[in-house]
Amino acid sequence: MLAHDLDSLIERGMRSEWVTEFRDGVDRCRETCSFFEFCGGNQPANKYFEHGRLDGTETDYCRHGKMALIEGFSMQSN
């Protein structure tokens, strides 16, 4: 038998330091990046390994795997 129900485990997890840090980074991406609708700011491994934190914003993965793709597509359709 579990000591805690699923809702309380999720609530506790959402307040954890690393989840809060990551959510702050996603919020910063949403506020500052014109490509946010395409990627959602959700590349935590890249953020961590490139910035050393989870609340970073633009990464090499963003620039080369997301932004360049959209920019190339929009140039092609002109």
26-45 pLDDT tens trace:
999 999 999 999 989 989 99
pTM score, whole prediction: 0.76
pLDDT in tens, 12-21: 888 889 999 9
- Helices 44-51 and 17-32 pack at an angle, to 10 degrees, of 90
The yes-or-no verdict on residue 69 having pLDDT over 80 is yes
Judge contact between 32 and 48, C-beta under 8 A: no
Measure CA of the first residue to CA of the last residue in the chain; give whole Å. Answer: 61
pLDDT for position 26: 96
Dihedral-angle region of residue 34 (phi above 0 means left; psi in -120 to 50 means alpha; beta otherwise):
alpha
Residue 56: other Cβ atoms inside 10 A = 22
Domain borders along the chain are: 30-78
